Structure 1
Amino acid sequence: MLRGWRRPDDVRVRPTAASLPGVEMVTATVAHIDIAAQVVHTDNSVIGYDALVIALGAALNTDAVPGLSDALDADVAGQFYTLDGAAELRAKVEALEHGRIAVAIAGVPFKCPAAPFEAAFLIAAQLGDRYATGTVQIDTFTPDPLPMPVAGPEVGEALVSMLKDHGVGFHPRKALARVDEAARTMHFGDGTSEPFDLLAVVPPHVPSAAARSAGLSESGWIPVDPRTLSTSADNVWAIGDATVLTLPNGKPLPKAAVFAEAQAAVVAHGVARHLGYDVAERHFTGTGACYVETGDHQAAKGDGDFFAPSPPSVTLYPPSREFHEEKVAQELAWLTRWKT
Structure 2
Amino acid sequence: MRRLLVLGGGTAGTMTANKLRHRLDPHEWTITVVDQDDEHHYQPGYLFIPFGTYDRDDVIRSRHHFLADGIDLVLGEIDRVEPEACVVDLSDGRTLPYDYLVIATGTTPRPDQTPGMLGPEWRQSIFDFYTLEGAEALAQALLRLDHGRLVVHITEMPIKCPVAPLEFTFLADAWLSERGLRERVELVFVTPLDGAFTQPVAAAHLGTMLAERNIVVEPDFMIERIDAENRKLVSYDEREVPFDLLVTVPLNMGADYVARSGLGDELNYVQVDKHTLLSTKYANIFALGDASDIPASKAGSVAHFACEVFVENFLQHVEGLPMTGSFDGHANCFVESGDGHALLIDFNYDTQPLPGKYPVPHVGPLSLLKETHANHLGKLAFRHVYWNVLLPGRPIPLPAHMSMAGKHVPSEEE
Q: Give me the TM-score of the superposition, normalised by structure 2.
A: 0.74
What is the match of residue 141 of structure 2? 92
Q: Is contact 1:71–1:77 with CA below 8 Å preserved after alignment?
A: no
Note closer, same or farther for the CA distance 1:3–1:279 as it changes in structure 2 (3 Å cut). Answer: farther
Note closer, same or farther for the CA distance 1:177–1:10 as it changes in structure 2 (3 Å cut). Answer: same
What is the match of residue 106 of structure 2? 57
Q: Is contact 1:78–1:88 with CA below 8 Å preserved after alignment?
A: yes
- SS for the counterpart of 1:85 is helix
AA partner of residue 26 (structure 1): V
Q: Deviations over 1:100-156 (max 9, x none)?
A: 10001112221111111111112222223556551111110001101221xx21211
Note closer, same or farther for the CA distance 1:279–1:218 as it changes in structure 2 (3 Å cut). Answer: closer
What is the match of residue 157 of structure 1? 204
Match runs of 1:305-324 below 5 Å:
305-308=348-351, 312=352, 314-315=354-355, 317-324=369-376
Structure 2 Cα separation of the partners of residues 119 and 214 of structure 1: 36
- SS for the counterpart of 1:258 is helix
Matching of residue 299 in structure 1 with residue 299 in structure 2? no
What is the match of residue 330 of structure 1? 382
Residue segments in structure 2 that go unaligned for 5+ positions in a row: 1-48, 356-367, 394-414
AA partner of residue 51 (structure 1): Y
Matching of residue 274 in structure 1 with residue 317 in structure 2? yes
What is the match of residue 249 of structure 1? none
Note closer, same or farther for the CA distance 1:339–1:12 as it changes in structure 2 (3 Å cut). Answer: farther
Q: Deviations over 1:20-51 (max 9, x none)?
A: 22211111111101111111111342111111
Q: Is contact 1:59–1:208 with CA below 8 Å preserved after alignment?
A: yes
Greater RCO, CA 8 A, separation 6+: 1
Q: 2:87 aligns with which of 32, 39, 43?
A: 39
CA apart distance, 1:17: 5.0
Q: Give me the TM-score of the superposition, normalised by structure 1.
A: 0.90
What is the match of residue 285 of structure 2? 236
Structure 1 Cα separation of the partners of residues 141 and 207 of structure 2: 26
AA partner of residue 374 (structure 2): E
What is the match of residue 248 of structure 1? none
Q: 2:156 aligns with which of 62, 82, 107?
A: 107
AA partner of residue 115 (structure 2): P
Note closer, same or farther for the CA distance 1:204–1:131 as it changes in structure 2 (3 Å cut). Answer: farther
Matching of residue 136 in structure 1 with residue 136 in structure 2? no
Q: 2:72 aligns with which of 24, 37, 41?
A: 24
Matching of residue 127 in structure 1 with residue 176 in structure 2? yes
Note closer, same or farther for the CA distance 1:18–1:100 as it changes in structure 2 (3 Å cut). Answer: closer
Note closer, same or farther for the CA distance 1:72–1:107 as it changes in structure 2 (3 Å cut). Answer: farther
Question: Identity across aligned pairs (percent)?
Answer: 28
Residue segments in structure 1 that go unaligned for 5+ positions in a row: 246-251
CA apart distance, 1:288: 2.3
AA partner of residue 137 (structure 1): E
Match runs of 1:204-243 below 5 Å:
204-219=251-266, 220-232=268-280, 233-243=282-292
Computed over aligned residues only, the root mean square deviation of the Cα atoms, in angstroms, reads: 2.3
